[in-house]
Amino acid sequence: MSFIIDDMRRVLLIKTKARHDGVCDHYSRVFMPKIMCFFSLMIGVNWYFDKLTCIIPKTLSGSQQFITDVCWINGFYIYENLTTSMTSYYGIPKNINEDGISITGILCETSYDEGCIPMVKFYYLQYQWFPFFLASFVILYIIPHLGFKFINADLITLKNAVRIHSCDEIFDSYFNLKQNTPTQMFIKVFGSIGVKIAYIFSNVGTFYAIDHSLNKKYLNYASNWLSWTYKNNSAMFDYSIHRQSFRAGEVLLPNYGLCDVQILFSDMIESGTNKYSIICEYSTHVLYHYVLILLWFLIVFGITFSIIGLINQTG
């Protein structure tokens, strides 16, 4: 584990040195890619070591690993819009056989009641790919800086040329209107503004991409989290049937879910199929809850700094 900790430390290490772009751009260009890599590495390590765990019926005790793998591949699901009085865990009815709801709002079993309306299953498979998803945003934050280096290539080389060339050579090379026409200078000015706007889009795009990947529940995550923290200790952490509300984190990514497993069997005497509904837990989602609330505020800071950078550029 020591080498993993060293890798995380190196990822977060930021060298203090002179940079060509503005201070506000440093947050999105330097800090955000590092924090994305750090969070990706953190939940990736947890993703590797922590596995999906399911309650296996006694009749399937010999197939425990197979069933766990099936649930990991297929994902687990919950029923949304269930009240606290209907559930044991968030999105899971007290009786897992109750997969429908009557017109009077009472849970029922569709296999026994023709008037029972089936509830919609909402699946969660983010744990399969989310560490890689976070790491991919590094590209989104680097693209604006590549544009900056392309647009301001002459200014970057000018800083280096000042040290080794004479004033006349520098004037002839960098302040020659034949080489740097007014049109080119005009394009560079607006290109620099475009880079500032690109940093805003990088942060906003990251925000909405994560929101889309989390079933459009991420934009309001911080407000839901803060509202949850204002409750007393019992209301915040009670998970019994008498609890008053759900946790903000489990609404975003549930820690528990249902998994349907179909077992096919055949031998010389008989063949058949059995279907089981199994409760599974994925404790890694607890880490996701804390990572995502921190990331929410860091992205908002990134948007703020990018807007300040744009104002400074145009002002």
Using one digit for the tens of pLDDT, what is the confidence trace for 151-160? 766 665 656 5
**pLDDT tens sequence across 179-212:** 666 676 777 777 778 888 999 999 999 999 999 9
Closest listed residue to residue 156, CA positions, set 178, 183, 174: 174
pLDDT of residue 214: 94
**141 within 8 A of 29, measured Cβ to Cβ:** yes
Q: Which amino acid is at 61?
A: S
pLDDT under 50: residue ranges of the chain: none
Helices and strands per DSSP (H, E), number in the chain: 12, 10
pLDDT of residue 177: 58
Closest listed residue to residue 87, CA positions, set 247, 229, 282: 247
pLDDT of residue 297: 96
- How many Cα atoms sit within 13 Å of 253 on the Cβ side? 23
Phi-psi region of 216 (alpha: psi -120 to 50; beta: other; left: phi over 0): left
According to DSSP, the residues that pair with 298 across neighbouring strands are none
